Amino acid sequence: MAGSRWIPLESNPEVLNTWAQRAGLVTSQAQFEDVYGLDPELLAMVSKPVKAIIMLFPISDEYEAKRKDEDEALKKQESKLDPTLFFIKQTIGNACGTIALIHALANSDIVLAPGSPLANFIDQCQDKTPEERAKLLETTEIFANIHADTASSGQTAAPSADEKVELHFTCFVEAPTKESRNTEAPSGAQRLVELDGRRVGPIDRGPCTDLLNDVAKFIKERYIAGSSSMQFSVMSLGPPAH
C-alpha cells in the first residue's frame, strides 16, 4: 500500500465519531463535536474537559513555505516533549484524517475497547519509530477499510482518491515535557502540541493551561490571521454533548 491514496474524510463530527467507534473508541464516554467559532461565547458551548482538537485547514503556498522552513529548524533542535507522546508519519495520500484521529485518540485519556483495531495498533506501535508506524498502518488493512467506509458516509459526495485536495487535517493535544512527566508539574510544564503526520515530529506550540482556549488563540494567530479562506473547521474530543 506504500504510495497509495485514500478518499479524503469529510470534516464533520458524525464522520469522525463513526471512524472512532469503528476503530475502538467507547463513544458513550467521549465523542467529537463541532467547535462553531473561536470566540469566548462559542467556546463556552463546547463540552469539557476537552481532550484533543482536530482542525481542517487550507494548504497555501505561503503555508507550505513556512512549514518547510519550520521543519528544517526543528530538525536541528532536541525536543523537550515527553518521548512517550504518540506520533506517526503520514505516507498514504489523503490519509490525514485518519492520522489526525489516531493522534487525537492515542494521546488522550479515553477508553478504547480491548482488542479493538486501534488498541491493537497502538500496542503494536510500541518501540517503533514514526516511520515504522506508518509502514505498519500501510499494511493494516482494517484501517484502510474503516477509512474508506467512513469517507463514503459523509453528508456530501466524497471526492475521488486521485482528486487534488488542498485541505489538510492536523491535531492538537496537551502533553508534558520530559522533565515534568514523572513529577508534580510546575506552572508552564504542560505544553500545547501540534501533531501532523506531514511534519518532522510533534511540534511544541508553547505553554498550555487550557487546551481549548490555547488552541483557539493559536489557530487565530497562526492559521487564520492573514488568510482569506473560509475553509477552516475545528472539532473537539470530549464528553458526549447533552
Residues with catalytic roles: 96, 168
Complete DSSP assignment for 162-184: TS---EEEEEEEEE-BTTTTTSP
Closest by alpha carbon to 208, among 193, 221, 195, 190? 190
Locate the DSSP E strands across 64-155.
Answer: none
The H or E element containing residue 216 is helix 211-218
CA distances from 89 to 48, 61, 98, 196 (A): 29, 21, 11, 8
Q: Decide if 18 contacts 154 (C-beta within 8 A).
A: no
Q: Decide if 117 contacts 24 (C-beta within 8 A).
A: yes
d(CA 94, CA 159): 10
Closest by alpha carbon to 7, among 208, 123, 150? 150
- What is the rounded radius of gyration, in angstroms, for the C-alpha atoms of the chain? 17
Amino acid at 79: S
d(CA 228, CA 233): 14
91's CB contacts (< 8 A; 6+ apart) are 2, 3, 131, 134, 135, 137, 138
